[in-house]
Each structure stands twice: as structure tokens, then as C-alpha cells.
Amino acid sequence: MPPSEDRLQQALNHSALARQQGDWQHAWQSLRLALQQDTEAWPLYAARAELLTDLGQSAAAEAEISQAHALASAQHAEPLQLSRLQSRQIVLRWSHAKAFSQVAELLQSFASAHPPTAQPTNQPITPPAQRARPRLGYLSPDLRRCSAGMFLSRYFALHPQTDFELYLYSLVQSPDPVQQAFQSHFSAQGVPWRDLSGLTLNEASTVIATDQPDILVDLAGHTSASGLALLAQQLAPVQVSGLTFNGPVGLPQVPWRFGDRASTAEPWPGETLLPLPGWIYLPQPLPVAGKDAASVPVTGYRLGCAHHPGRLSPQTLALWAEILQAAPQTSLHLKHRLYQHEACRQALTQALQDHGIAPERLHFEGDSDYPDYLRFYTRLDCVLDPFPYQGGLVSCDALWMGLPLVTHVQPGWPAGGASLLQAVALNEGIAYSPADYLAKTLAILTDQALRQHCARSLRQRVQNSWIGQPNRFVAGCMHHLQLLTAQGGLHAS
């Protein structure tokens, strides 16, 4: 490795270690010093973007990623890396943009950078119609310990083994026990596990094309370590997105998307929605005691959110500050593993102080195991959904624990929070403007009877809805995949 590359890797490693230890100042300084030596080292800008995201500064993080992508493109970086930088920019803009048209611009640019191939990469040797079962491949970076991993663990536990010949393509190698459990599960079922981590776009494409899948399902969208560049190679006749990513991916090579009508504003041009009962489900309904109706207060309310600080947009924080000002006896409680670090707490504290909120009204909780995380909700009176990047599993958890949720429906944006609330008949929490969000939050806080009713009944309502019935979700996916194979003539009917 040339000395310049060696110094670059040392700077990245040092910054990553400092970030892991919660020392954002030294992490940033390490990157700054390295940039003084090489202003065109695009990985340094990408690393700075992650630091800024941790501190809740998604707009500044997007600027860093944009710079990283421009430099990487000029340097003809590996196409898979270029694609992931674009996806990262899309997610960051999704976290702070004021109109979906701003995200749509990036989706269109992403499609332009990934034009359809003149000839599909997958050229089956054996005609699909002569196979006993159609081949179904899943592509994911999240077959490991993470929130999406929880969702996928339940999905594959319920996945039938007889309808399709399955293939798993893992984009991230992780030594954690969750990935080991995934591998053991698929090994016991005789399902091939393909490790694509560390491969180039051409190398990974060759692995998938050799398997000749009839259907390829993306399980990440534009989230971390995205594999959309692989789907852009048209590695299967049928390609589907939508699982774990509630929104369009923007690629004409992926014309089908799983989702529910309630949360989908309108399909992306050229995209066909494959309607499901819902867009997400509660993967682990643990029997942790929920909110005690007897403990619901008349005054002194606690608002809360357990979302990543990078998803708390400036417009979200400004509106939450208005709520706190309108209800002086109310406090805001935020929980995430990043809040165990002083720098992250201080960044959010300062952002709300800029809106006139005293630090003593803010309370932070760091990492904990899943049962203790669920108990966080029992100490709240109402959960606030950020926007435009809304909650998914964290919102399911809040409802499971008996907490009302307030969410903001915006024109053009996926309305995942509203879909969840409609499923449990809690329309009191669906707001259609910032003023409505403020009014409905205050109405819920002052309606003790409503909050007591939520504490007593929401868990049962979740169980009775599609949120608590993942088997319905998986069955819906299988129904659509079977129809797609039959309609496409991919196997003998």
C-alpha cells in the first residue's frame, strides 16, 4: 500500500476509534489533519458526514457526502462505492428536506447514474420454466445485529421453504451472534448464503448472475451499504424493493415495490405498488409490562422519542420547541445509544436552546438492552414522531407499550406513522400541518382519559392489527411473488 494510502487508512481508523469512544472532537481533528495533507481524499469527507449525522446535523452531513461523491466520481472510484455515496446523500436529504421534490431530484440523478444495461446480465442456462421451483434471491446489508435485522429475522422465520428456491446475498460481514443465527437458520434449510462483502460491483454481480435468480428482492433501499447498484445490472427478470425501506428507490430496473396504500403518497413514475396489509410489523412483541393506566398524570407531561439524532430535522426540533413552550410543565425525553456521549447530548441541547428551551427540560438516555429500552416508553405520556424521516419499529414499540403517537403527514412523503395509527384506530395522533401537530399533541396531553384508554387497550389493538400479525405480511409478500413468477412465465404452472 502506498504511503499516502497508508496515512489515509490510519486517519480513518483513528477517527473511527475516537467516534466509537464518543470523542467527536478528536475524531474530527484526525480527519481535518488528514485533509490538510490530501484535500481530495473522498473517504475523509464521507467519514466527516457520519460524525455530523451522529450530532444531528444532517444538512451539513449531506454537503460532506456530496463532496465525497464528486471527488470519488472524478477519481473513477469503484462503482459500488459511488452508488452507496449517492444513496447516503438521498437518505441524508430525506432526513431534513422540506419538500419531497428535493429528494426526488436526487432519486432522478441516481437513476441517471445507473442506466439500464443494454443486455440483462442474467442469461439463464436452464430455462426458468423448466425449473421445479423459481429461484428467489434476497439482497441485504442487514442480516446482522440491527433494527432491520430484527425485522428480517422474523420475516425469514415465517418464510415458506417450499414455494421458492432461496438464495441469500449478504452485503455486510459481521461477527455478531445475530448474523451467526441467520447463517445457522439458512444452513439448516439448505439455503445458500453468499457473502458479497468486500467484492467489487462486477465480482458481486458475477456471483448473483451465476445463481440465475428469477426474482431478486432488495432489503435495504438507500440505507447503509445499499446494494441497488447490483439491481441496476438487471441480475434477475423480476426485481422488487420496499422491504425495510418505505419509499421509492428510483430505478426503472426495479419496477415493483412492496408497501401499503395508506403510507404511499403515490407510486414513483414507472413503479407498481404490490399492496400489503401494512408496511412494517412488530417483530418481537416481548411481554414487558406496558404503560400503567393508573400512572397516567393529570399534569407534568413527558414527551419522548427514541429515534436516531440524525433523523431529528431542524423543522422537527423547532416544532417540538413550540410544544414545550406551549406546555411549560412538559419535559422532553430522548433515547438512543448515541446519547451516552456528551457531544451528542450537547448538540441536541444547543439546538433546542436556540429555540428558547432550557436544558433542564431535556432528558437523555443511552444504550440499553431491548426490554429496558421498551420500559423507556412506560415513563412517557406521548411519543413524538419526527419528520420528514418518520419512525418505523420505534413507533411500533411505542404503540405496543401503550403510548399514543403524534405524526405529521406531508404532501408527497411516505406516511408511515399515519398508516400505523390508522391500523390501531388512533387517528387523534395524525396531524396534517405543523399547527395541527402542535394542537393534537396538546390535546392528547390534556386528555387523561384518552391516554388511560391507550394504556389499557393499545397492546390488544396492536395484536389485532397487521402490526402484530407478521404472518399476514409475509403471506402477502409470497402472494405477490407467486403472481409475478406466474405472470412472467418464470416457472411451470
Distance CA 419, CA 278 (A): 7
Please give the C-alpha separations between residue 477 and each of 74, 160, 162, 310, in angstroms, as whole numbers: 41, 11, 15, 31
Q: What share of the chain is helix, strand, coil (3-state, %, to 5)?
A: 50, 10, 40
Q: Which CATH superfamily is domain 3-113 in?
A: Tetratricopeptide repeat domain (1.25.40.10)
Q: Which residues of 333-360 are buried (b: 16+ CB within 10 A; e: fewer)?
A: bbbbebbebebbbebbbebbeeeebeee
pLDDT of the residue at 3: 44
pLDDT in tens, 479-488: 999 999 988 7
- What fold is seen in the domain 293-468? Rossmann fold (3.40.50)
pLDDT of the residue at 2: 43
Rg (C-alpha) for the chain, rounded Å, is: 23
- Indicate the burial class of 378 (C-beta count within 10 angstroms; 0-12, 13-18, 19 or more): middle
pLDDT of the residue at 486: 86
3-state secondary structure of 144: coil
pLDDT in tens, 74-109: 999 999 999 999 999 999 999 999 999 999 999 999
User: Which sequence spans correspond to the domains of the chain?
Assistant: 3-113, 128-281+470-487, 293-468
Q: pLDDT category, 294, cuts 50, 70, 90?
A: very high
Distance CA 368, CA 379 (A): 15
Mean pLDDT of all residues in 56-71: 98
Mean pLDDT of all residues in 291-311: 95
User: Does this chain's domain 128-281+470-487 share its CATH topology with 293-468?
Assistant: yes
* Residue 489 confidence (pLDDT) above 70: no
Identify the bridge partners of residue 238 per DSSP, sorted by sequence position: 215
Shortest CA distance to 384 belongs to which of 365, 398, 364? 398
Mean pLDDT of all residues in 203-231: 97
- Asked: is 128-281+470-487 a CATH 1.10.565.10 domain? The reply is no
pLDDT of the residue at 6: 86
Mean pLDDT of all residues in 298-305: 95
Q: pLDDT category, 493, cuts 50, 70, 90?
A: very low
